[in-house]
């Protein structure tokens, strides 16, 4: 599980970081400042990974996974909602907003069902 999770995150992060760099350049940062900002966020990820490794239970990974995975999932949900909700509030067509909210709730329901199996 750890290897697959690591590979999935790495494959996700490469285009994500390139996109963030482009956004920073468009926001008026020069290349060096944008690179420093990206480096600071990457260092935050490394600090989080070190914390997770240090917090691992000596009895095994089972106890650690019991709280790290829900915490991480909640973080991803928070990030997704912070990006989606403002766009939903600006949507002019109520049907489109309803569809997006229903799909978001469907995704959460699928995650809950998978967690219980």
Q: Are residues 51 and 89 in the same domain?
A: no
Residues 6+ apart with CB under 8 A from 20: 38, 41
Could you tell me if 44 and 64 lie in one domain? no
64 and 51 together in one domain: no
Domain range for 11: 1-55
pLDDT above 90 covers a percentage of the chain that reads 4
Task: Verify that 49 and 98 share a domain, yes or no.
Answer: no
Query: Do 50 and 65 belong together in one domain?
Result: no
What's the rounded Cα separation, in Å, for the pair 105 and 108?
5
42 and 87 housed in the same domain: no
Mean pLDDT value of segment 108-114: 82
Tell if the pTM clears 0.85, that is, is over it. Answer: no
Is residue 57's pLDDT more than 70? no
Written as one string, the DSSP assignment of 22-69 is: HHHHHTT--HHHHHHHHHHHHHHHHHHHHHHHHT--TT-HHHHHHHHH
Is residue 30 domain-shared with residue 79, that is, in the same domain? no
- Taking alpha carbons only, the member of 84, 72, 9 closest to residue 42 is 9
Q: How confident is the model at residue 58 (pLDDT cuts 50, 70, 90)?
A: low
**Do residue 50 and residue 66 come from a single domain?**
no
Cβ–Cβ < 8 Å for 97, 88: yes
Instruction: Indicate if 49 and 99 belong to the same structural domain.
Output: no
Could you tell me if 49 and 55 are in contact, meaning their C-beta atoms sit under 8 angstroms apart? no
* Terminal alpha carbon distance of the chain: 16
- Contact between 38 and 20 under an 8 Å Cβ cutoff? The reply is yes
15 shares a domain with 65 = no
Q: What pLDDT sits at residue 48?
A: 80
Alpha-carbon distance 75 to 64, whole Å?
17
Residues 77 and 32 reside in one and the same domain: no
Tens of pLDDT along 21-42?
Answer: 888 888 899 999 989 988 888 8
Residues 68 and 97 in one domain: yes
Weakest-pLDDT range from 55-64, 68-77, 107-116: 55-64
Q: Could you give the number of structural domains in the chain?
A: 2
């Amino acid at each position: 599980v750890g290897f697959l999770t690591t590979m999935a995150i790495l494959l996700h992060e490469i285009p994500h970081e390139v996109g963030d760099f482009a956004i920073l350049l468009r926001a008026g940062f020069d290349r060096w400042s944008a690179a420093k900002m990206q480096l600071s966020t990457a260092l935050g990820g490394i600090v989080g990974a070190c914390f997770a490794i240090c917090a691992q239970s000596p009895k095994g990974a089972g106890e650690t996974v019991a709280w790290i995975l829900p915490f991480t999932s909640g973080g991803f949900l928070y990030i997704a909602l912070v990006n989606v909700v403002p766009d939903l509030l600006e949507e002019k067509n109520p049907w489109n907003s309803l569809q997006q909210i229903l799909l978001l709730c469907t995704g959460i329901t699928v995650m809950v069902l998978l967690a219980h199996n």
